[in-house]
Structure 1
């Protein structure tokens, strides 16, 4: 009985992942408005019934793409920035490498534009979008605290400000790079310099 249930669960997970992969590809290529549930299902070689077994509607699907991307980003940042690694310079250099990969993830950057545009047009979707975005910011804030020297107290409001700046700046500059495709290091340096300046300011204020 348990093995049968596990087999069904694995099958549903396989279906879900295939739909997500297809949706990612189609929406980044054609835009959210041009892609239907039927398109996504057909591209993944599943029926629309399979889609509705995993997602309540197209908006729910789009939010899931957002959640999965943010979870991936948070996991990567947790690996890069850790209290166990007290060398903040080393963490910053690892962050540079991560930013380079992030800037070249054009598929996700295109979808992030679609998310923002749809949230701007649809109030109910905007509310759910804000919830997912806030959760992401909260998780990134927990990670960024690790860059503050351990001996110093942490001002949560300042950490939240740094987090908002880092996320907004990263996405804004990444979108510019996606369009101009010039020197990626130029954009990364802006983010790193801004982050270093903010951390130094907080550290100085706490002394």
Structure 2
């Protein structure tokens, strides 16, 4: 029988997610116990297990929350870009902004990705979540890509293109966090992606 979603349960869940996000960013996914997460949120472990079966499940809930926020931001960026004189360049400029939340999520997700690589079952679940957000992004940017290529991009190519963009985004972010004075945040995306997308 499904658990009834009450206002109190929603508040508990949000506090657990907030506590997990901060703890994972500071100490790593494996560096904090469920008990410590609960203490940070002001709950007992019973509250945790009434919402999640494991830390893995908690991370995936964080992933979903983050994905929803990203899709909202990208949707707003697409609207602004389509109203500009150079939609692709404008969108990439808006989408390549790196704030504190972006950096926090990068730390959390990178560590969980390494954990997933070592655990095939976790990798399979993470891959499904990754595919879902790529699908959402593909839907958002299709009108944008049409401004550069009226014939459009077929779905299979678009998924591979998004994989490439994610690789550039995450690889560039890793380098810029290590060498912020040498490689400013978003520089690789701003410099190369507009020309690449127009070529494709």
- Answer whether TM exceeds 0.5 for this pair: yes
1:80–1:91 Cα contact (<8 Å) kept? no
Structure 2: gaps spanning 5 or more residues: none
Corresponding residue of 2:13 = 16
Corresponding residue of 1:163 = 162
Greater shift in the superposed pair: 79-88 or 127-136: 79-88
Corresponding residue of 1:175 = 174
Corresponding residue of 1:68 = 65
Following TM superposition, by how much is the alpha carbon of 1:78 offset from its aligned partner in structure 2, in angstroms?
Answer: 1.0
Structure 1: gaps spanning 5 or more residues: 203-207
C-alpha separation between the residues in 2 aligned to 1:11 and 1:73?
Answer: 26
Determine which structure has the larger helix proportion and give its number: 1
Corresponding residue of 2:31 = 34
Give CA deviations for 1:71-127 in whole Å, capped at 9, x if unaligned.
211111111114993546256335424422357732111101111111012121111
SS of the residue 2:6 aligns to: helix
C-alpha separation between the residues in 2 aligned to 1:169 and 1:102?
Answer: 17
Give CA deviations for 1:137-163 in whole Å, capped at 9, x if unaligned.
111122221222354343223322221
Aligned positions of 1:1-207 closer than 5 A? 9-82=6-79, 85=82, 87=84, 89-90=86-87, 92-102=89-99, 105-149=102-146, 151-182=150-181, 185=184, 187-202=185-200
C-alpha separation between the residues in 1 aligned to 2:20 and 2:100?
Answer: 21
Greater shift in the superposed pair: 42-51 or 99-108: 99-108
Higher Cα radius of gyration:
1
1:81–1:91 Cα contact (<8 Å) kept? no
Following TM superposition, by how much is the alpha carbon of 1:67 offset from its aligned partner in structure 2, in angstroms?
Answer: 1.7
